[in-house]
C-alpha cells in the first residue's frame, strides 16, 4: 500500500502529496470538508492548513478529522488502491467492513476504526 511521505498545504483546501512510490499529486478536499460535520472546524482555511501526518501516515487535524492514505492516493493519482491479491482475504475483509477503514468510503469520519 502506498505511504504518504510528504504533505504540504497548497491553498484553498488543497494538499500537495508525495508518496513512497515517487508519485505525487494535489488533492482538493473542499467538498469533503463541507460534507462531514466532524470537519466543520476545518471550514476555516487557517484551521484546515494545520494538518499533520500521524504514524500510519494518515492526514489528521487536531479536531479529530482524518483522511486515509488510501483515499488520498486514489484522489492524487487517479489510481485505485490494491488492497490484496488474495480473493479469499478480500472477500472476508469486505464482509467485515475492514477494507474501507470506517465502513464507508475511507474518508474522514473523524473516528479511527
Does this model's pTM top 0.75? Answer: no
- Residues 27-84: tens digit of each pLDDT: 999 999 999 999 999 999 999 999 999 999 999 999 999 999 999 999 999 998 876 5
> What ranges in 8-86 are assigned the alpha helix state H?
30-35, 45-48, 69-77
pLDDT of residue 111 exceeding 90, the answer is no
Q: How far apart are the first and last CA of the chain?
A: 18
Q: Rounded to an integer, what distance in angstroms lies between the CA atom of residue 83 and that of residue 89?
A: 9
Task: Output the CATH code of domain 4-95.
Answer: 3.30.2020.10
Domain ranges of the chain: 4-95
Amino acid at each position: 500500500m502506498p505511504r504518504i511521505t510528504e504533505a504540504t498545504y497548497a491553498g484553498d483546501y488543497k494538499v500537495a502529496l508525495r508518496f513512497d512510490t515517487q508519485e505525487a499529486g494535489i488533492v482538493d478536499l473542499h467538498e469533503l470538508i463541507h460534507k462531514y460535520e466532524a470537519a466543520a472546524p476545518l471550514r476555516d482555511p487557517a484551521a484546515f492548513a494545520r494538518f499533520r501526518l500521524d504514524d500510519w501516515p494518515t492526514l489528521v487535524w487536531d479536531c479529530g478529522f482524518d483522511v486515509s492514505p488510501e483515499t488520498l492516493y486514489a484522489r492524487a493519482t487517479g489510481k485505485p488502491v490494491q488492497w490484496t491479491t488474495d480473493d479469499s482475504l478480500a472477500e472476508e475483509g469486505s464482509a467485515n467492513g475492514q477494507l474501507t477503514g470506517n465502513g464507508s468510503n475511507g474518508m474522514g469520519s473523524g473516528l479511527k476504526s
